[in-house]
C-alpha cells in the first residue's frame, strides 16, 4: 500500500469520526429547536425529529417571557451579570497571575504554582459547603457577590495563562523594555497585553461557559427567585413540569423546552463571536521558536 493511499484512508476515517462527533452534539440541539415549535399535542403525537403543525414557536416564546410575571427575564439578567462579572474578573486575575508565574522568579513561586495545580484536582462540590459557611459569616448570602466572588477564582485559567505566557511573550522583549527604562507595569501594558490577548479571550470564553452553566453554587447561595440565574430557574420549572404544575393542559413541558433553547443561544453567539481568538489561543501555545 502506497503512502498516499494510506493517507487518504486515514483522512476518510478522521472525516467519519468528525461527522459522528458532530451528529452526537448537533442532534440534541436540532431536537430542541424542532420541539420548541410544537404544541403540547404535537410534542407527543408527531415524530420527534421533525416539525409539525401548527407552528407554535412564537406562542411558546411568549409564554416563556410572560410566565410568573416575566421571571425568566430576571433569571436571564442575573445569568448575564454573573457570567460577565465572574468570567471577566476570572480572566483578568488569571492573566495577571499566570504572567507573574511565567515571567518572574521569587521565593516559593514553584510551591505556589504547585498549589494552583493541586486545586485543579479538587472537585467544586467539595468546596461548596465551606464556601457557603464562609459567605454566611460574611453576610453575603442572597447577594450577587455570593455568586460572583467564587467565580473569580479559576485555577485552570491561571495554569493556561502561565503556559501561554511561556510561549507567547519572549523574555528578550521584556529585557529590551527594561534596558529602555520602562517600568514593569508599562512593559506589561504596552508589550505583553497585546500578545496575551488570544489567551485572555480563551480563558474568558471558558469562564463564561463555566459560570453560565453553574448550578450548584447559585442554588446554595441564592434562595430568592429574583437573584437566581437561568440554571436554577429552569430547574424550578422542570419540577413544575414533572408535577403537572404551571399550566393545566400540561404545556409547561413545551415552555421548558423553549426556555432551554433560549438559554443556549447566548452561549452559541458568544462562542461564534470569540471563536477566532479562541482558536488562536489554543494553537499558539503549541509552537516554539
Q: How does pLDDT run across 130-157, given as a tens digit for each residue?
A: 999 999 999 999 999 999 999 999 999 9
The CATH code belonging to domain 69-284 is 1.10.3720.10
Q: What is the mean pLDDT of residues 2-6?
A: 67
Task: Measure the N-to-C terminal CA separation of the chain; round to a whole number of Å.
Answer: 36
Q: Taking all residues of the chain, what is their mean pLDDT, rounded to a whole number?
A: 87
Comparing C-alpha atoms, which of 54, 53, 61 is closest to residue 36?
61
How much is the pTM?
0.87
The answer for residues whose C-beta is within 8 angstroms of residue 86's C-beta and 6 or more apart is 147, 148, 150, 151, 152, 207, 211
The cell numbers describing 172, all together, are: 528578550
Q: At what angle do helices 71-103 and 252-284 cross, to 10 degrees?
A: 20
Give percent above pLDDT 90 in the chain: 54
Neighbours of 283 (CB within 10 A): 10
Instruction: Output the pLDDT for position 87.
Output: 95
Instruction: Output the pLDDT for position 253.
Output: 87
Query: How many angstroms separate the CA atoms of 153 and 260, rounded?
Result: 27
Instruction: Output the pLDDT for position 244.
Output: 60
Instruction: Output the pLDDT for position 278.
Output: 60
Query: How many angstroms separate the CA atoms of 56 and 40, rounded?
Result: 10
The cell numbers describing 39, all together, are: 404544541
**Tens digits of residue pLDDT in 192-233:** 998 898 899 989 999 999 999 999 999 999 999 899 999 999
**Tens digits of residue pLDDT in 261-288:** 999 999 999 988 887 766 555 554 444 4
Q: What is the mean pLDDT of residues 16-43?
A: 90
Comparing C-alpha atoms, which of 195, 239, 234 is closest to residue 215?
234
Q: What is the dihedral of CA 160, 147, 225, 39, to 10 degrees?
A: 0
Instruction: Output the pLDDT for position 11.
Output: 82
**Tens digits of residue pLDDT in 29-42:** 999 999 999 988 88
Comparing C-alpha atoms, which of 88, 63, 77, 48 is closest to residue 255?
63
Comparing C-alpha atoms, which of 146, 108, 255, 274 is closest to residue 207?
274
Extents of the domains making up the chain: 69-284
Q: What angle do CA 17, 281, 12 make, to 5 degrees?
A: 20
Instruction: Output the pLDDT for position 287.
Output: 42
The b/e string for 93-120 (b: 16+ C-beta within 10 A; e otherwise) is bbbebbbbbbbeeeeeeeeebeebeeee
- Of the listed ranges 90-94, 168-172, 245-249, 275-279, the least confidently predicted one is 245-249
DSSP type of residue 39? -
Give percent above pLDDT 70 in the chain: 91
Q: What is the mean pLDDT of residues 75-99?
A: 96
Instruction: Output the pLDDT for position 280.
Output: 56
- Residues 55, 33 contacting (CB under 8 angstroms): no
Amino acid at each position: 500500500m502506497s503512502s498516499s493511499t494510506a493517507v487518504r484512508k486515514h483522512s476518510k476515517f478522521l472525516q467519519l469520526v468528525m461527522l459522528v462527533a458532530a451528529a452526537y452534539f448537533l442532534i440534541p440541539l436540532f431536537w430542541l429547536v424542532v420541539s420548541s415549535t410544537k404544541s403540547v399535542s404535537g410534542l407527543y403525537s408527531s415524530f420527534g425529529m421533525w416539525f409539525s403543525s401548527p407552528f407554535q414557536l412564537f406562542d411558546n416564546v411568549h409564554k416563556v417571557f410572560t410566565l410568573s410575571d416575566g421571571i425568566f427575564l430576571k433569571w436571564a439578567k442575573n445569568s448575564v451579570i454573573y457570567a460577565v462579572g465572574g468570567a471577566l474578573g476570572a480572566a483578568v486575575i488569571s492573566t495577571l497571575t499566570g504572567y507573574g508565574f511565567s515571567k518572574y522568579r521569587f521565593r516559593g513561586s514553584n510551591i505556589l504554582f504547585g498549589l494552583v495545580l493541586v486545586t485543579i484536582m479538587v472537585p467544586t462540590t467539595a468546596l461548596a459547603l465551606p464556601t457557603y459557611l464562609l459567605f454566611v459569616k460574611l453576610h453575603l448570602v442572597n447577594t450577587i457577590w455570593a455568586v460572583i466572588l467564587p467565580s473569580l477564582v479559576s485555577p485552570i485559567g491561571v495554569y493556561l495563562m502561565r503556559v501561554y505566557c511561556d510561549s507567547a511573550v519572549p523574555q528578550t522583549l521584556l529585557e529590551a523594555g527594561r534596558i529602555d527604562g520602562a517600568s514593569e507595569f508599562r512593559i506589561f501594558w504596552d508589550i505583553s497585553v497585546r500578545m496575551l490577548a488570544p489567551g485572555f479571550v480563551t480563558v474568558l470564553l471558558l469562564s463564561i461557559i463555566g459560570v453560565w452553566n453553574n448550578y450548584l453554587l447559585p442554588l446554595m447561595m441564592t434562595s430568592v427567585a429574583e437573584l437566581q440565574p437561568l440554571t436554577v430557574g429552569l430547574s424550578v420549572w422542570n419540577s413544575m413540569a414533572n408535577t403537572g404544575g404551571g399550566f393545566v393542559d400540561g404545556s409547561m413541558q413545551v415552555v421548558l423546552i423553549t426556555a432551554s433553547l433560549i438559554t443556549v443561544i447566548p452561549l452559541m453567539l458568544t462562542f461564534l463571536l470569540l471563536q477566532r481568538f479562541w482558536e488562536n489561543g489554543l494553537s499558539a501555545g503549541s509552537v516554539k521558536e
